[in-house]
Each structure stands twice: as structure tokens, then as C-alpha cells.
Structure 1
Amino acid sequence: MSFELPPLADLLAHSYVVRLPMRVKFRGITQREALLIEGPEGWGEFSAFVEYAPAEASRWLSAGIEAAYQPFPEPLRTTIPVNATLPAVAASEVGAVLEKYDAPHTIKIKVAEQGQGLEQDLARVAEARRLYPQAALRVDANMGWDIGQAVHALKALSEFDLQYAEQPVPGITGLAEVREQLRTAGIDLKIAADEAVRKHTDPLEVSRLGAADLMVIKAQPLGGIQAVLDIAQQAELDVVVSSALDTSVGLSQAAALASALPALPYACGLSTGTLFADDVCTEPLLATAGYLPVQRIDADPRKLKQLRPEQQRVDWWLRRVEQCYEQLVKA
């Protein structure tokens, strides 16, 4: 962490817990909880997924504190190209989901969903390609396959001219093996590392082992904007900035990160605001014509009140801040 921690009492006094309803199930949930922090520079977000232990979740808290207490870096661009995100819905639902996006030029498609098979993945990708023949398509398996399944599935899915495949298997060595087997089979499909970067104690190992062609990075899981900029500079790989299913407050931090990168060759995964049926501000941070504006977002007091969950959940999040804060102090 490159900044001084504010007192814990200040954080707790200016923290607000919200629960956002979602339009479709995503990552197995239909409601998204988050804790927002109001600080001297604006608003920050702490929304580590509820199953994460304090050691991992503390990086998310660090990012939220950074956003609330530190200025965003000077932007190199004022808008960010973004992809549409297609959850693992049935092929018949693809059109309805993608219609909610404004001019999708790039579509990220979830595959390897638990309880589904390759046939459903192929149908979903095929329908996206049929509806948007000129769009760049990419798939994200969220570590859902083993190496054999991944190679088999990606050989079939590569027929749809994919831009890249994101985290087909767990770990870094698994990624390297999948990438090598595809190359041996004559399939030049790029492999992107996501969980292998953000859940690893050494994110740069992906680059050293040649396990991926690019990195998908998120501001919250890696500790904030400055931490990610440092990783990107050292890794010397192309970077895609993505959302961790953030509210508009978290999305504004992610957009600020994308705006500060020296190069941005791929559309970013920052259009997830469309997945929410409500948000913490009156005008959610949404893309126009496939581009997201770079701007600070302030939470609306009325929304904070409307979206506040029951006191038991508020108390749970405040205790979590205390636990994660202890981790940051130790570090």
C-alpha cells in the first residue's frame, strides 16, 4: 500500500452497506452486497465476495480506501471501450440480454457454467455470433474446466473466431498447458489470465512462465489503481481492465485505472452496470455506443437508504471491515 491508512473509526463512521438487485443471475447470485466509503476525495467501494477470507478481502478494502482517500491518476483518455457481458443463459435468451447493451462491439460470453455442458456453450456463442456477426467475441470459463475439457471445448469454440479465452482452467501451470496444447494442435487462440493473476500471491508469475497472452486485471482484488499499474508495468503483457461486479462507484475507479494505462488494446469488461436493476446513484455509470465515460461517481443518500439491507447484514460488513483492516495494518 502506497498511502497511509486512515483511522478505523473514520472508516466505520463513513461506511454504508447496500444490496443491489440484479436483472439476471450472475456468478450464482441475484443480489449484490457492497460497502461504500465516503472519504475526502470522494467515494470508494469495498465489495469482496462474501466467501473471501479476510486475507484476500483486505486487498479489496485497500482499493476502496484508496478511491475514497486518494485522487485518481491523471487520465490519458476520457472514454473506455467496453464489452458486453453475456451470462450463461440459454441461447433463446441471448438476444434479450444483449439488447440491454448500447451498441455492443465486443461480447464476453460466460461458459463452463456448473450444471451445463459444452453443447449449451456452443449454442450460446453461436447465437451471439449470429446476432452480432461483426462483434469481437471472447469466452470466460472462470476456471470451470480441467485441462482436457478446456482443450476439447476451446477447439470447438475456436470455430467462432474468438478474440481470446479467459481463465479456462485453474492456476498458472494449467493455463500454460492449455495454451501449449492448443498451439500444438495448430489453434492460435489467445489465452487470458484472470483468477491466476488476482488470486495468486505473485501475479507476475503468469508473465514469467509464459502462461498467457494477456492479463485481465481488476482494481479491487489487486489492491487499487496504483497496485495494478505497477503489476501491468512489470508484466509487460497486454491488459484488459474488468469489473468485479462493482456498483457504479467501483466502476468509476476501474474506469480511472483503464484511463491511466499507457496502452489499452482491448475493450474492457466495465459495462456490468447493466446487470443491476438498481444502483447507488441516480444516473448509473453506463456505456454509450460501447464506450464508458471516465468520471467520479457519488452515491446518492436516498439510494443508500433505499438499498440498505437488514441490520444483521450491515453489522456483518462492518465487522468485515475491522477484520480486513487488521490485515492491512499487519502488512
Structure 2
Amino acid sequence: MKALIDFDGAPVFAIPARDGYRGVNACEGMLIEGPQGWGEFCPPPASSDLVAARWLTSAIEGGTVGWPDPVRGRVAVSVPVPAVSPDDAGTMVGRSGCRAADVRVTGGADALAEDLARLEAVRAALGPAGSIRCSVERLWDVDTAAGVIPVMNSAAGGLEFVQQPCATAAELAALRRRIDVRVAVEVASLGPDRPPASQVADIAVLAVGPLGGVRRALRFAEHEGLPCIVSAAPGAAESSIGLAGGLALAGVLPDVPFACGLGTATLLAGDVVSAGRALLPVEGYLPVSPMAPGPDPDRVAEFSLDDAERVAWWRGRLRAVRELL
């Protein structure tokens, strides 16, 4: 399989986050072409080679063996709301057409008022029927989370769930016993010796990059015993080529009870595909496709990484990670 892939000619790119979006990472990585199509290799720079190897497996899956046949043609997605002002948050939600919002909270005691105002603005924009989820990214210990989440739940007019409020499985299990809001756990964050996800959370969050591709993520969904939500990889940013894998997973799952966290291309200042192929939600939905969109040469040139040291770093990382496949 590796012999069929153009690793040496893989373009290295970097797309910045939109101006003013605090806490949003730039999308930096490589585009991998296989005999059937394209994939994206963009593991977080600090991840281990073993973790990055799962990202590479995911990147080459769609362009080699392909993805399983979908059972639906489109999926509902949420609008990501970064740490922006309440006015900007309301505008983002109203403009998106989505009926669910993933609201970033900064977590600090000195920022609680700002977080609550953001949640209130999102509720006003969504209306009473919309779904609000808090994205926390492991910021809190158990006591802090148990104190803050009920307050945020009230400000939001009800939270659908809170995603990864604590770092460890033990903390999540302890927190779950102390709050009424559902807890979502990022399956890829749980180590190999961890308890079943059903013992620490109410919802399993699946991201194809860190889980090693659509098929491996599907196996996790089958074994976790929890309702699942498909999301972009936490702590990383992906272009439309990378997000297509998440849509493929959402398209093949037997049940998709939550809007998927795959609307994150809106957070970036551009894309490596043409405007017509970019995975930007339309009336709250994204299409499921049999393969990722191909890169547009002009867009790739626009976002080509021109830092020679970073390019060499990415090529070196790809060589090291390939040896683990």
C-alpha cells in the first residue's frame, strides 16, 4: 500500500485561523495522494510518533482502500463558536444556519462572566429548540467542573452535553456522579488500560484522525456502548480534505443522534480546495461523499508553507511515522 502513495511529493501547507478567534489553531500539515484520492496528514505537532501514525493511517485510508458505503447522504453539523465576544458569537450562530452550537469556554474564574455572556448570546441566536454544547478541552479539576457546569447550564438555557471537562477517565467518572449535564468523552484521549467509556461518560466523541481512520473509529463506536458524536479532532485543525473523513464516518454509523462537530472549516482563513468544494455548512448540513475533495492547485500554492525549517520538520516527521506503519 505504501508503494502506491506519493509521499515524497506531498505538499506541505499552513492555513491560519481567522483573525480574532482566540484558542483556534492554524491548520498545518501535508496532503497525501493515493491511487483513489487524497488525504490529509495533520497531527498536532506535540503528538507522539505512535499517535501520528494513526493520523497517517487515516490520511491514506480514503485514497487507497476507500471508505465504507454510507447509509445517509448528509449529516447535521454544529457551528463552532470560539472565544469571541457575545455579539460576535450571536452573529456567527445566526449566520450559520446550524441548529446546534459548540461553544468554547475559557474555563478561568476571571473569565466566567464572559463565558456565561457568550452562552446567553448563543441561546438567544439559536432559540429554545437549538442545542448548545460546551467545549472545555480538559481545563478543570473535578471540583471546579462540578461548580461551574451547573452555572453554565443555566446561562445556556440547558446544555446538551459538556465535552471533555476534565483530563482523566477517573476525573470524568467522579464528575459524572456530581452533575446532571451529560458528559462527552473523546475516545482517543483514553489510554489502552482505561475502563470502558460507558463507565466515565454518557457520550463517546469520535475523531477519525487520532483513532486511525473511518474503519477503526467505526469499531470503537461498535464497542463503546454509548451514543456517539463525530467531531473534528480536538486540539487540531483540518481543511475540508481532512474533515471529509469525519463525514464519511458520520455517513456510515447506524445512528447519528447529535449534530456532528464537523463545521470547523469556518474557523480557518481559507482552504486547500476550491470554494465550491469547501465543506462549509449549508442550512446546518454537510454532504457525505465517497471520497475527499481534491486540492485546488491555486489554493495549495496560496497556503504553501514557505518556512524551510518547518517544511523539513514535516518531511522528517512523515518519514519517521511511515516506518511505524
Same structural fold, with TM-score higher than 0.5 when normalized by the shorter chain: yes
1:207 aligns with 2:197: yes
Relative distance call for 1:116 and 1:10 in structure 2 (3 A) is farther
For residues 276-296 of structure 1, the C-alpha deviation after alignment (integer angstroms, 9 at most, x for no partner) is: 221011121111110101123
Amino acid at match of 2:145: A
1:190 aligns with 2:182: yes
- Tell me the distance in 1 between the aligned counterparts of 2:190 and 2:209: 14
1:70 aligns with 2:28: no
Q: Measure how far apart 1:86 and its partner are.
A: 0.5
Choose the corresponding residue for 1:288, options 273, 279, 282.
282
For residues 251-299 of structure 1, the C-alpha deviation after alignment (integer angstroms, 9 at most, x for no partner) is: 1111011101011111100111111221011121111110101123111
Alignment of 1:93-132 (within 5 A): 93-101=88-96, 103-113=97-107, 117-132=111-126
Q: Which residue of 1 aligns with 2:53?
A: 58
Q: Which residue of 2 aligns with 1:185?
A: none
Q: Measure how far apart 1:21 and its partner are.
A: 2.3
CA contact (8 A) 1:45 1:67 kept: no
1:37 aligns with 2:32: yes
Relative distance call for 1:127 and 1:219 in structure 2 (3 A) is same
- Tell me the distance in 2 between the aligned counterparts of 1:71 and 1:158: 41
Q: Which residue of 2 aligns with 1:166?
A: 163
- Tell me the distance in 2 between the aligned counterparts of 1:156 and 1:164: 13
- Tell me the distance in 2 between the aligned counterparts of 1:203 and 1:23: 38
Choose the corresponding residue for 2:245, options 242, 250, 253.
253
- Tell me the distance in 1 between the aligned counterparts of 2:303 and 2:146: 43
- Tell me the distance in 2 between the aligned counterparts of 1:45 and 1:203: 29
Q: Measure how far apart 1:84 and its partner are.
A: 0.6
Q: Which moved more, 1:77-86 or 1:288-297?
A: 288-297
- Tell me the distance in 2 between the aligned counterparts of 1:29 and 1:323: 27
Q: Which moved more, 1:116-125 or 1:255-264?
A: 116-125
Alignment of 1:148-167 (within 5 A): 148-159=143-154, 160-167=157-164
Q: Measure how far apart 1:203 and its partner are.
A: 8.4
Q: Measure how far apart 1:225 and its partner are.
A: 0.5
Q: TM-score, normalised by structure 1?
A: 0.89
Aligned residue pairs, count: 314
Amino acid at match of 2:209: Q
For residues 45-64 of structure 1, the C-alpha deviation after alignment (integer angstroms, 9 at most, x for no partner) is: 11101121212221111110
Relative distance call for 1:106 and 1:157 in structure 2 (3 A) is same
1:242 aligns with 2:234: no
Amino acid at match of 2:167: P
Q: Percent identity?
A: 31
- Tell me the distance in 2 between the aligned counterparts of 1:25 and 1:315: 29
CA contact (8 A) 1:23 1:30 kept: no
Q: TM-score, normalised by structure 2?
A: 0.91
- Tell me the distance in 2 between the aligned counterparts of 1:229 and 1:253: 12
CA RMSD of aligned residues (A): 1.9
Gaps of 5+ in 2: none
Q: Measure how far apart 1:111 and its partner are.
A: 1.2
CA contact (8 A) 2:98 2:285 kept: no
Q: Which residue of 2 aligns with 1:314?
A: 311
Q: Which residue of 1 aligns with 2:78?
A: 83
Q: Which residue of 1 aligns with 2:215?
A: 226
- Tell me the distance in 2 between the aligned counterparts of 1:25 and 1:11: 36
CA contact (8 A) 1:15 1:38 kept: yes
- Tell me the distance in 2 between the aligned counterparts of 1:20 and 1:115: 32
Relative distance call for 1:29 and 1:158 in structure 2 (3 A) is closer
Amino acid at match of 1:67: G
Choose the corresponding residue for 2:136, options 132, 141, 145.
141
CA contact (8 A) 2:24 2:82 kept: no
Q: Measure how far apart 1:23 and its partner are.
A: 1.4
1:17 aligns with 2:12: yes
1:217 aligns with 2:212: no
Relative distance call for 1:12 and 1:243 in structure 2 (3 A) is same
What secondary structure does 2:191 align onto?
A: coil
